[in-house]
């Protein structure tokens, strides 16, 4: 029979070292709260029952963790008396009876499903406790995993370790799986006879052995167990997450010319044969289809980019931008809440907001859709194969019909029928010989200002 599992996420820390008004596990990695990444990893290991131990910002932490299919129940830890005390804040959930109980931390957003599955496999094999450890590049300060003949004998804190034990590089990652049938009994046996008077989860190893049980350790990559306590560590975790996700995408067929300069969001979707040039940032909610090119120095958020479309360089796609196949958004253009039809071109220095641009249309440089009246937003509709000349202002709500032409420099306030030509500008006038007169006037005004300034 399939074993059921309860995951307990410890997320009640005070987060004092973050120096923030917001609790640590709410700080984002790739645009998503750390704790949500942990819930995703649990779901990847088919663990959908979650007990969330919260403290500061309890409601916000609970909301951030309530993602996907997982059922998340929150438990408030009123006092901070050690890791075992934190786990027992979820006593009610543990008492429901699960085959496996898995303890994880809300500030380890790089954890993946693989070590969580390995820990559960260890319980299924008949072990009472499974500790997730790692081989540390520098073990200084970490608790050492003392393993003999495949059995975990003890977790020795660095300050208590002998010189020989300090040479061990196999270290405690803090994550632990416990036989659910014995979990409450084992946890209740943990005492606080130590200098801090706290209840330490690591004591379970020796307690289990004293009762004739068995503990083992399973190994995870050091990177996955990286915890976060400071802003510097948050930036380090962000770098590791970005490196991992870029690598996954490139293996899946995405091209990145300078991957270290591309920044992804947790939900960025880039299809095979997408090309991303240097210095591109993807915010949340982006999907880019096959063959599209995102040119350098572009920012894309909440947008869909169709197959074979091109964006940038120096373009900004805001939420609601929907680019059709082989459309083009050029340099220094901004698109917001607008549908750009197949093959349509918005080439330079243009703003298209709250709009529809039909297939094959061309929008000239410097054109803007005047979508906001100071209170409400209004829609601009441009038909298929229309041409809007440079430096035009389209004052919404307004419709430009299929095949219509708008002359450069026009201010369009009325609908333009299909195949019509619209001029919305003042007639040019020429005043022969007036230029020297104006220059003389301007020079006199300038001299007068200088004289007043000198007198002051």
Rg, Å, the chain Cα set = 31
CA distance 289 to 309: 8
CA distance 179 to 306: 50
The DSSP result for 85-145, as a single string, is: HHHHTTHHHHTT--SEEEEEETT-TT--HHHHHHHHHHHHTT-SEEEEEEE-SS-TTSPEE
State phi, psi for 350 to the nearest 5 degrees: -130, 145
Report cis status (omega within 30 of 0) of the bond before 313.
yes
20: which 2 tokens?
A: 């923030």
SS3 455: helix
Q: Give residue 248's region: left, alpha or beta (phi > 0; psi -120 to 50).
A: alpha
- Nearest Cα residue to 172 out of 214, 201, 213: 201
Neighbours of 350 (CB within 10 A): 26
Q: Are 303 and 284 in contact (CB under 8 A)?
A: no
Query: Which helix (H) or strand (E) is 241 found in, with range?
Result: helix 231-251
Annotated active-site residue in 295, 304, 348, 378 = 348
Q: Mark whether 348 is an active-site residue.
A: yes
CA distance 352 to 323: 12
Half-sphere exposure at residue 116, Cβ-oriented, CA atoms within 13 angstroms: 29
The DSSP result for 18-46, as a single string, is: G--SS-GGGSEETTEEHHHHHHHHHHHTT
Residues annotated as part of the active site: 348
């Amino acid at each position: 029979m399939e074993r059921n599992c309860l995951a307990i996420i410890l997320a009640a820390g005070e987060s004092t070292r973050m120096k923030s008004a917001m609790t640590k596990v709410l700080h984002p990695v790739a645009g998503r709260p750390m704790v949500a990444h942990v819930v995703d990893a649990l779901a990847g290991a088919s663990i959908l029952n979650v007990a969330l131990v919260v403290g500061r910002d309890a409601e916000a932490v609970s909301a951030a963790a309530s993602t996907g299919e997982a059922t998340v129940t929150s438990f408030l830890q009123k006092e901070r008396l050690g890791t075992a005390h934190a786990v027992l804040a979820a006593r009610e959930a543990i008492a429901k009876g699960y085959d496996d109980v898995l303890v994880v931390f809300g500030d380890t957003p790089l954890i993946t499903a693989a070590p969580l599955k390995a820990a559960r496999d260890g319980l299924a094999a008949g072990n009472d406790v499974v500790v997730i450890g790692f081989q540390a590049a520098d073990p200084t300060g970490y608790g050492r995993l003392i393993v003999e003949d495949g059995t975990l004998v003890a977790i020795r804190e660095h300050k208590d370790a002998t010189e020989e034990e300090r040479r061990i590089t196999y270290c405690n990652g803090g994550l632990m799986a416990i036989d659910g049938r014995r979990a409450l009994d084992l946890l209740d046996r943990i005492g606080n006879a130590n200098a801090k008077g706290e209840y330490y989860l690591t004591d379970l190893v020796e307690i289990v052995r004293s009762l004739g049980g068995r503990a083992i350790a399973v190994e995870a990559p050091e990177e996955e167990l990286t915890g976060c306590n400071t802003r510097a560590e948050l930036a380090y975790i962000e770098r590791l997450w970005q490196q991992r996700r870029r690598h996954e995408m490139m293996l899946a067929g995405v091209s990145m010319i300078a991957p270290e300069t591309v920044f992804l969001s947790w939900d960025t979707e880039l299809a095979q044969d997408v090309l991303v040039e240097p210095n591109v940032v993807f915010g949340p909610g982006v999907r880019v289809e096959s063959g599209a090119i995102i040119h350098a120095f572009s920012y894309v958020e909440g947008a869909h980019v169709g197959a074979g479309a091109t964006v940038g360089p120096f373009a900004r796609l805001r939420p609601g931008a929907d680019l059709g196949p082989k459309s083009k958004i050029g340099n220094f253009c901004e698109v917001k809440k607008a549908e750009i039809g197949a093959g349509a071109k918005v080439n330079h220095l243009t703003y298209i907001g709250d709009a529809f641009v039909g297939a094959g249309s061309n929008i000239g440089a410097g054109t803007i859709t005047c979508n906001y009246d100071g209170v409400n937003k209004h829609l601009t509709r441009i038909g298929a194969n229309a041409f809007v000349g440079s430096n035009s202002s389209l004052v919404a709500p307004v419709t430009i019909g299929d095949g219509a032409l708008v002359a450069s420099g026009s201010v369009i306030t009325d609908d333009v029928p299909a195949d019509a030509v619209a001029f919305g500008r003042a007639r040019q006038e020429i005043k022969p010989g007036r230029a020297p007169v104006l220059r003389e006037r301007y020079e006199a005004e300038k001299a007068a200002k200088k004289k007043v300034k000198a007198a002051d």
